[in-house]
């Protein structure tokens, strides 16, 4: 009887060991602090130009806030921003700077970089006459690292995803509730027509993240504060290279962009109203 018990114990141990080798324990994903899960689906916001277009997105994560100067400094080691402050959004960064940040942050946090960046080969699809870089940047499909949202993802998240109430701006029908823009981002509230000398004399600038009303998903500043880089080229629905890149949301020195408003900027362009937020796959 004793021999039988010992035999059963050894057999059970071998089976358990074999199972553990066949199914190794999965390494848990890093905690996504300050990220919001966006459940995929079709566009619900009626103010989106994707509404009714049979466009369906997969689920993803996106930053609750625009990338701050502190976050940028922790990864890149220097601060290019015109207006300094740890909790201010980083600005004066190009699209190339943004994708490089995504890769470096991914490496720092033990993730697989999402982009392959070739600085030596010029992107043949980039016909810009003013872009002196023209890096060839491609996606690594299986990577789990940080990335820029596509224009469709950005608009879907800004519009509230499946929880959308069809606001005009991200979180409200009133720009002042949700956004920092040329009328309210300075010493006093401005009125009338946009006028740069008036805006400049009003000391308009970026504002600390998260101070305005969030949208239905709990995302802040997707309307106003800084314009945000997206991955895809302007007018490029397949998210490939192009001469300019999509920017969304409007910023502190200009009009706040409605959700469907589509603008673009040279990939090497920089400005004190140009920043970004990052996303990740599900």
Structure tokens at 52: 């009714």
The predicted-structure confidence for 26-67, as pLDDT tens digits, reads as follows: 344 545 789 999 999 999 999 999 999 999 999 999 999 999
Task: Please list, in sequence order, all residues whose beta carbon lies within 8 angstroms of the beta carbon of residue 105, skipping any fewer than 6 positions away.
Answer: 71, 75, 145, 146, 278
Give bridge partners of residue 187 from the DSSP assignment. none
Hey, what CATH topology would domain 33-281 get? 3.90.1580
Structure tokens at 240: 């490939």
Structure tokens at 201: 């004399």
Task: Please list, in sequence order, all residues whose beta carbon lies within 8 angstroms of the beta carbon of residue 199, skipping any fewer than 6 positions away.
Answer: 182, 186, 190, 253
The predicted-structure confidence for 189-203, as pLDDT tens digits, reads as follows: 999 999 999 999 999
Nearest to 222 by CA among 155, 163, 273: 155
Confidence grade of residue 241 (pLDDT, cut at 50, 70, 90)? low
Task: Please list, in sequence order, all residues whose beta carbon lies within 8 angstroms of the beta carbon of residue 101, skipping any fewer than 6 positions away.
Answer: 67, 72, 75, 76, 93, 146, 278
First to last CA, the chain: 53
Q: What pTM was computed for the model?
A: 0.87
């Amino acid at each position: 009887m004793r021999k039988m018990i010992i035999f059963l114990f050894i057999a059970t141990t071998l089976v358990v060991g074999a199972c553990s080798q066949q199914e190794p324990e999965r390494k848990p994903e890093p905690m996504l602090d300050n990220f919001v899960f966006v459940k995929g689906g079709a566009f619900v916001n009626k103010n989106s130009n994707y509404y009714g277009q049979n466009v369906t997105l997969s689920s993803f994560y996106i930053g609750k806030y625009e990338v701050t100067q502190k976050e940028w400094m922790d990864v890149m080691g220097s601060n290019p921003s015109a207006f300094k402050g740890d909790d201010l959004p980083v600005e004066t960064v190009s699209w190339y700077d943004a994708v490089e940040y995504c890769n470096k942050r991914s490496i720092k946090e033990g993730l697989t970089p999402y982009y392959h960046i070739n600085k030596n080969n010029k992107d043949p699809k980039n016909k810009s006459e003013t872009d002196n870089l023209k890096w060839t940047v491609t996606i690594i499909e299986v990577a789990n690292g940080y990335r820029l949202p596509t224009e469709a993802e950005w608009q879907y998240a800004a519009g509230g995803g499946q929880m959308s109430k069809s606001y005009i701006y991200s979180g409200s029908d009133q720009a002042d509730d949700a956004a920092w823009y040329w009328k309210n981002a300075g010493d006093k509230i401005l009125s009338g027509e946009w006028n740069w000398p008036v805006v400049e004399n009003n000391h308009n600038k970026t504002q600390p993240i998260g101070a305005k009303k969030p949208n239905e998903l709990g995302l802040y500043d997707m309307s106003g504060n800084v314009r945000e880089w997206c991955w895809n080229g302007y007018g490029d629905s397949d998210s490939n290279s192009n001469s300019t890149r999509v920017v969304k949301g409007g910023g502190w020195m200009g009009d706040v962009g409605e959700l469907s408003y589509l603008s673009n900027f040279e990939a090497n362009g920089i400005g004190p109203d140009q920043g970004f937020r990052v996303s990740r796959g599900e």
